[in-house]
DNA sequence: AATGAAGTGGGGAAAAGTGGGGAATTTTGG
DNA sequence: CCAAAATTCCCCACTTTTCCCCACTTCATT
């Protein structure tokens, strides 16, 4: 019944992005009173097969596709003593949460993770090659300014 | 209008595949006067096929599905001297108890195990990849803070 | 201007978490 | 061996949170 033009064109778009298999761009979105965050439309297709949000490196959250999540955790687990491994697992897995999108393409960010990354309402969602990062907007901006000055020696 | 059709299906798909394989997330629950603890709803499906609660590594309890319990036993046998293994088995198995859920999804935690892990009323239930851990909430929090500062080198 | 996609907000139904009464069962003391 | 006491189990009830749906706005395209 509802398999009209809209769905078809969306599917085409999906495929284009999926082929690239990479997260690019920076989006200024808001977290609403219910803790919901609209995932940038360009990122949604890659999350079709499942994604995980967890504590990120620094004051931010990381979103990985299921594929990358497993790949990455397996790599890390490989080179660890069993004591370090236990700590690692107890830090990462409990902090993580599977991502589910509602009909509007929004995810819910658990309160604990919001607190960890200092997220209130105004956030920046950034595609960083193999994952997506969620930052408090002000924190992100000052971080970027720092990178722009300090990191001017990076050859690009 | 009908922009939701494609999106509605992902969440369900994700959950089926993902939730079978892994325990994720951190939940603050309470043990009531009768020793009952509500198992987080996201963990219940995996425990219906049978699960065991036992002394954990550290001041906590571990809950394994029967499937993972066997798997882990095999791993331990591989990496332990036979003396250590015997001690380990004599410590863990007698403490263990099979889990049954009531109509509200609660398990009863035997008094001995509650005492072992210092559990009173406020606990944290944490998904740690292949098993679930139950901690006194205060103990868990200080442990996590330690990991967050000390373990900031973890690249995730 | 019309159309559709994207982002945002909110109401209401459903589920999850919690507490407690009371019957059935077991334990204990006489 | 019986009866009182304690424990366990099965319901029911209440509160809070989550989830699903609908609606509005904005922006880009045509």
Could you state, in order of their start, the residue ranges of all structural domains in chain B? 23-150
Interface test with B, best of A91, A104, A110, A128 (most B CBs within 10 A): A91
Residues 6+ apart with CB under 8 A from B3: A6, A7, A10, A103
The helix (run of H) or strand (run of E) holding residue A145 is: helix A137-150
Query: Crossing angle, helix B137-150 and helix A82-95, to 10 degrees?
Result: 110
- Please give the structure tokens belonging to residue B58: 């550290």
What average pLDDT does range A95-104 have in this prediction? 92
CB contact under 8 A, A10 and B6: yes
Kindly state which CATH superfamily the domain A23-153 is placed in.
Transcriptional regulator MraZ domain (3.40.1550.20)
Indicate the burial class of A12 (C-beta count within 10 angstroms; 0-12, 13-18, 19 or more). exposed
The C1' atom of D26 and the CA atom of A30 lie apart, in whole Å, by: 15
CATH superfamily of B23-150: Transcriptional regulator MraZ domain (3.40.1550.20)
Task: Give the minimum alpha-carbon distance from B79 to chain A in angstroms, rounded to a whole number.
Answer: 11
- Reading chain B (156 residues) residue by residue, the pLDDT tens digits are 333 333 333 344 444 444 457 899 999 999 999 999 999 999 999 888 889 999 999 999 999 998 888 888 787 778 788 888 888 888 888 888 888 899 999 999 988 899 899 998 999 999 999 999 999 999 999 999 888 787 655 656
**B154 token code pair:** 């973890």
Evaluate if residue A23 carries a pLDDT over 80: yes
- Quick one: pLDDT band at residue A7, thresholds 50, 70, 90? very low
Put simply, whether the predicted model's pTM sits higher than 0.95 gets the answer no
Tell which residue, A53, A68, A51, A54, has the closest CA to residue A129.
Answer: A68
Contacts B145 to A, Cβ<8 Å: none
Q: For residue A28, give the nucleotide whose C1' atom is nearest its CA.
A: C7
A51 closest CA partner among A6, A93, A98: A98
Separation between Cα atoms, residue B68 and residue A132, nearest integer Å: 31
Per-residue pLDDT at A79 exceeds 50: yes
> Mutation test of the interface with chain B: which of A94, A113, A118, A128, choosing the one with the most B Cβ atoms within 10 A?
A94
Is the C-beta of residue A18 closer than 7 Å to nucleic acid chain C?
A: no
Length of chain A: 156
Burial A84-119 (b: 16+ CB within 10 A, else e): eeebbbbbbbbbbbbbbbeeebbbbbbebbbebbeb
Chain A residue with CA closest to B57: the answer is: A86
SS3 of residue A40 by DSSP: coil
Q: C-alpha distances in angstroms, A77 versus A40, A52, A72, B26, B150?
A: 31, 18, 9, 21, 18
- Cβ–Cβ below 8 Å for A93 and B24: yes
SS3 B132: strand
- Give the pLDDT score at B82: 84
Q: How far is A60 from chain B (nearest CA, A)?
A: 11
Of A100, A105, A85, A95, the residue nearest A42 (C-alpha): A105
Chain B environment of A6 (Cβ under 8 Å)? 1-3
């Amino acid at each position: 019944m509802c398999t009209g033009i809209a769905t078809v064109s969306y599917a085409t778009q999906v495929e284009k992005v999926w082929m690239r298999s990479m997260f690019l761009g920076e989006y200024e979105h808001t977290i609403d009173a219910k803790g919901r965050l609209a995932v940038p439309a360009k990122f949604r297709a890659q999350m079709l097969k499942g994604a995980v949000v967890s504590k990120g490196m620094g004051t931010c959250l990381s979103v990985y596709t299921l594929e990358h999540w497993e790949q990455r955790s397996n790599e890390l687990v490989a080179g660890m003593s069993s004591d370090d491994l236990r700590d690692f697992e107890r830090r990462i897995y409990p902090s993580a949460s599977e991502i589910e999108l509602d009909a509007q393409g929004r995810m819910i960010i658990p309160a604990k993770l919001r607190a960890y990354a200092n997220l209130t309402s105004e956030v920046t969602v950034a595609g960083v090659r193999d994952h997506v990062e969620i930052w408090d907007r002000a924190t992100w901006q000052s971080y970027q300014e720092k990178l722009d000055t300090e990191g001017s020696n990076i050859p690009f």
